[in-house]
Amino acid sequence: MASLATAASEKANIEAFRSDVIDASKTMLVLVDFWADWCGPCKTLTPLLERVVATQADRVKLVKIDVDKNQTLASQFRIQSLPTVYAFLGGQPIDGFQGALGERELKAFIDRLLAGAPLPAGEADAEAEIAALLESAAQASAAGAHDEAAAMLGALARELPERESIAGKFALALLALGQTDAAAEALAAVPTDSKDGDVTRARAAIALAAKAVPVDDLAALKADVAASPDNHQLRFDLAGALLASSDRDGAADALLTIIAADRNWNEAAARTTLLKMFEATGLDDPWSIKTRARLRTVLFS
């Protein structure tokens, strides 16, 4: 009778696993924690898992499996050391680890896996709406309607202040309107080490704005540079004036001329400014690619 009871219990455990893990993982990320009461590290890991998973309960589920009471499952998954955690998504195990991790490591592990997890229906609809608004803003910006783009992006940035990419796009729209101070304010809460491409572009453009100093008589400044071609400060001032007048090519020409003559002049100010221009334009932009090739020719000729 005992063996029959044991077999029935194991069958029930397997059915529960199929429902709680396999089926559930088709709509969310499921973490399976294989543990035992006698396992010391398990007593450290399990409470951390519970706490981290609780912060994202709409997208992550934790299932705890006592290996002493689920020996068939433990055997099927070849559990050789405890604790062992498997991550399931789409009905399949996709990753896992053994041993106790710290809370930060657990969060990083879960965040990485969530990138491939389906969104709940409500969140999916919200993300679709955000994507549509971003597309509308991009179209408005491409058509030169930067005020409309800034209005849409500003509303999104206020609603989703944690989205670095939206803050970056908002700042770029403000920069297109000539609102440098407002663009800097839009990025104030974004971490300084952000790797978002739009944030990088916007910050570079803000830094360039300080160097883009308009002059009343651009022709006179050009004449002064022509009369004193070795005066790097004059030429650097000309580059700033050309930037202010949106003459990107002219500014690059002036900076490249300084670099060719003295690449270390004024602590490599010309090269630093040119690199900022690349960042502000976008490293993959055709203009940046072409001008970077010119810079390489100057540096290595």
pLDDT in tens, 169-225: 999 999 999 999 999 999 999 999 999 999 999 999 999 998 888 899 999 999 999
Q: In 10 A of CB 11, how many CB atoms?
A: 11
Rounded to whole angstroms, the Cα distance separating 118 from 139 reads 28
Rounded to whole angstroms, the Cα distance separating 203 from 269 reads 17
Active site residue 39: yes
Active site residue 103: no
Among 21, 29, 32, 39, the active-site one is 39
Residue whose tokens read 């540079």: 225
**Per-residue pLDDT at 99:** 92
Among 29, 42, 85, 209, the active-site one is 42
How many helices (H) does the chain have, and how many strands (E)?
14, 4
Q: What's the average pLDDT block by block, 10 residues per block, for the chain (301 residues)?
A: 56 90 92 95 94 90 94 91 94 93 91 77 72 90 92 92 94 94 96 93 93 92 96 96 94 97 95 95 94 95 80
Rounded to whole angstroms, the Cα distance separating 205 from 276 reads 7
Residue 287 identity (one-letter amino acid): W
**Per-residue pLDDT at 5:** 43
